[in-house]
């Protein structure tokens, strides 16, 4: 019987020109990769989300708490290990950094199993399709980015082969909440104009989605969707906080636009409430946030039982994208995968839109595991072992 012998945690960090969504300012891109090794010489890689908190917190959870529960165990017992980690951390976990850390181990275990069996993760999960449709996730706010620059950004992405797109909205000043110190806020009418400009730039045949990053309330979201009706949005992502899922359900009732969410939720238990409450048309579990591939697959199956789509969140690295591509290609209720088009070095140095087919699709790799083996030496000083 093989067994896990080590768990290593690495972070990669690089500065980037300032850009913003509705809530956050981004000046650097950071990712966390986790490597499991086994006594048989197999190696599996996973990724943990570090958005929203110091990487050192997630790294400590991995090295000081989760790794001792995994080392010495049979790596093939993926679902047993998921439950072991979840139950042993339930009093202080169940959501957040603990579950994200768990997810990186789960993803690495699937990678090991794929390599042991000589097949891709998509094949292990039960392949449904050979390709997926990436959507270019772009259209962030940035200093000096006017409507002309925004339209040029999307024309360039269309020229690179993308046929589906998402953009940011929601960076309005909130008089009733002063927690976030926002600069560069825009009027709601400006966001309407931004959406219409992007629709014109990408043409009538492309899919277009918007993401408000939980920053609106019910009247704002409904009014906005009515004002951009001619843009024919495929979905609106996180129009309100997941804590206000009853408002998301009302948005669904009052408009004809699908509501998608919530990347900031974790595990099947939270998504059960979203689905049962009628809050979403599209579930968006991020395997690197929600508890790994095992939990993302359970969430997708739950959504399928409600007749809902699954479109995972994936703004991180090429590794994260490939994990989501393997996942989505196994789904009967999914076809879209988020492609980080913000200029992240952890995306662009590993993947290029030139890999897309003529109709904008991405053929999912078929090599053993999830198809990503990072060369840490080649990344140099950008890599830190924690």
Residue extents of the structural domains in the chain: 4-118+376-385, 122-363
Cα(46)–Cα(107) distance, rounded to whole angstroms?
Answer: 5
* Distance, C-alpha 62 to centroid of its chain: 20
Tens-place pLDDT, residues 36-67: 999 999 999 999 999 878 899 999 999 999 99
CATH topology of domain 122-363: TIM Barrel (3.20.20)
> Which H, E and C letters describe 26-70, residue by residue?
EEEEEEEEEEEEECCCCEEEEEECCCCCCHHHHHHHHHHHHHHHH
DSSP 345: H
CATH topology of domain 4-118+376-385: Enolase-like; domain 1 (3.30.390)
Taking 50 as the pLDDT cut, the residues of the chain under it are none
Tokens describing residue 231: 């843009």
Cα(221)–Cα(62) distance, rounded to whole angstroms?
Answer: 38
Q: Which residues of 339-362 are buried (b: 16+ CB within 10 A; e: fewer)?
A: bbbbebbbbeeebebeebeeebbb
Q: Max CA-CA distance within the chain? A: 62
Provide the pLDDT for residue 176: 67
Cα(324)–Cα(38) distance, rounded to whole angstroms?
Answer: 24
DSSP 364: P
Other beta carbons less than 10 A from residue 310's beta carbon: 26
Q: Which residues contact 235 (CB under 8 A, 6 or more apart)?
A: 209, 257, 258, 259, 260, 281, 282, 311
Whether 304 and 332 have beta carbons less than 8 Å apart is answered as yes
Percent of the chain as helix, strand, coil, to the nearest 5: 40, 20, 40
Residue 308 has phi, psi (to 5 degrees) of -105, 155
Q: Which residues contact 103 (CB under 8 A, 6 or more apart)?
A: 46, 48, 49, 287, 288, 289, 290, 291, 292, 293, 295
Provide the pLDDT for residue 376: 87
Q: Which residues contact 348 (CB under 8 A, 6 or more apart)?
A: none
Q: Is the pTM of this model over 0.75?
A: yes
Q: Which residues contact 99 (CB under 8 A, 6 or more apart)?
A: 86, 93, 266, 267, 289, 290, 291, 295
* 3-class secondary-structure state, position 73: coil
Q: Which residue has the tokens 């047993």?
A: 80
Provide the pLDDT for residue 379: 87
Provide the pLDDT for residue 164: 98
Cα(22)–Cα(15) distance, rounded to whole angstroms?
Answer: 20
- Say how many residues make up the chain: 386
Cα(21)–Cα(26) distance, rounded to whole angstroms?
Answer: 8
């Amino acid at each position: 019987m093989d067994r896990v012998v080590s768990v290593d945690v690495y972070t990669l960090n690089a500065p980037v020109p300032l850009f913003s969504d509705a809530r956050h300012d981004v000046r650097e891109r950071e990712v966390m990769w986790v490597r499991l090794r086994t006594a048989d010489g197999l190696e599996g890689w996973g990724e943990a989300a570090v958005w929203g908190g110091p990487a050192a917190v997630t790294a400590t959870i991995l090295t000081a708490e989760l790794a001792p529960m995994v080392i010495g165990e049979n790596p093939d017992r993926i679902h047993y290990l998921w439950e072991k980690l979840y139950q042993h951390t339930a009093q202080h976990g169940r959501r957040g950094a603990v579950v994200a850390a768990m997810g990186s181990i789960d993803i690495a275990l699937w990678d090991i199993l794929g390599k042991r069996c000589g097949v891709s993760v998509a094949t292990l999960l039960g392949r449904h399709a050979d390709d997926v449709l990436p959507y270019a996730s772009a259209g962030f706010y940035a200093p000096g980015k006017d409507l002309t620059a925004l339209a040029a950004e999307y024309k360039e992405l269309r020229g690179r082969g993308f046929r589906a797109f998402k953009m940011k909205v929601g960076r309005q000043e909130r008089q009733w909440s002063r927690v976030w110190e926002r600069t560069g806020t825009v009027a709601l009418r400006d966001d309407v104009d931004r959406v219409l400009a992007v629709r014109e730039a990408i043409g009538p045949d492309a899919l277009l989605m918007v993401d408000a990053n939980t920053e609106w309330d019910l009247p704002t979201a409904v009014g906005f969707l009515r004002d951009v009706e001619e843009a024919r949005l495929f979905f609106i992502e996180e129009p309100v906080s997941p804590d206000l899922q009853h408002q998301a359900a009302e948005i669904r009732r009052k408009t004809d636009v699908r509501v998608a969410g919530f990347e900031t939720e974790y595990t099947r238990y939270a998504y059960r409430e979203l689905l049962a409450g009628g809050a979403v048309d599209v579930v968006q579990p991020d395997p690197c946030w929600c508890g790994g591939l095992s939990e993302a697959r359970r969430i997708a199956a739950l959504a399928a039982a409600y007749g809902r789509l699954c479109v995972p969140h994936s703004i991180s690295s090429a590794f994260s994208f490939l994990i989501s591509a393997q996942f989505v290609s196994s789904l009967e209720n999914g076809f879209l995968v988020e492609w980080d088009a913000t200029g992240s070095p952890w995306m662009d140095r590993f993947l290029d839109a030139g890999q897309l087919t003529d109709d904008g699709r991405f053929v999912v790799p078929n090599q053993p595991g999830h198809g990503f083996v990072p060369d840490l030496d080649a990344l140099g000083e950008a890599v830190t072992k924690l």
